[in-house]
Amino acid sequence: FNLVRCGIAIYGLDPAPGVPGSLAQRLIPAMTVKTRLLLTKQIPAGAGVSYGHTWIADRPTRVGLVPIGYAEGVPRHASSRAEVSVAGKRRPIRGRVCMDQFVIDLGADDPPAGSEVVIIGPGRDGEPTAQDWAEACDTISYEIVTRWGGRMRRRYVSEDVQ
């Protein structure tokens, strides 16, 4: 009786989201996953993206290519369901998540290639959280934060660096 199992709280995530009195208000997510936008491209209404063209643009729009996929840990269930953050705005995934990449809808915006893409973060700047991704993929946040690996580079940032 002198042992505590921290579990998901180690990641700063709520072990019981939506349950009154849970730890959600006192925990700070400790993990951010980000990459860089590889390219952007204007597409016309009626153009499909990714394998099988499961998403077809209903209007002319700009799309961006995000150079990570399920080989790095992006859930395929996120296809056309989850969002990322680019230039301070949430951007929806369009079409299927592939092994090495996925496509996002940038709308009328035109962030340059090389712009930071926040896949998951603490949420304090409006970026998607692990819980947002869990809800989009019909799973739990623990599955989201433990799946990252493959070719992802990990970097520890101490608490005094913001």
pTM: 0.89
Encode pLDDT of 127-154 as tens digits: 999 999 999 999 999 999 999 987 888 8
Q: Which of 7-11, 44-48, 132-136 has the lowest mean pLDDT?
A: 7-11
Encode pLDDT of 68-116 as tens digits: 999 999 999 999 999 999 999 999 999 999 999 999 999 999 999 999 9
The predicted structure's pLDDT at residue 162: 47
Contact between 119 and 99 (Cβ < 8 Å)? no
Nearest to 8 by CA among 134, 125, 118: 134
The predicted structure's pLDDT at residue 20: 78
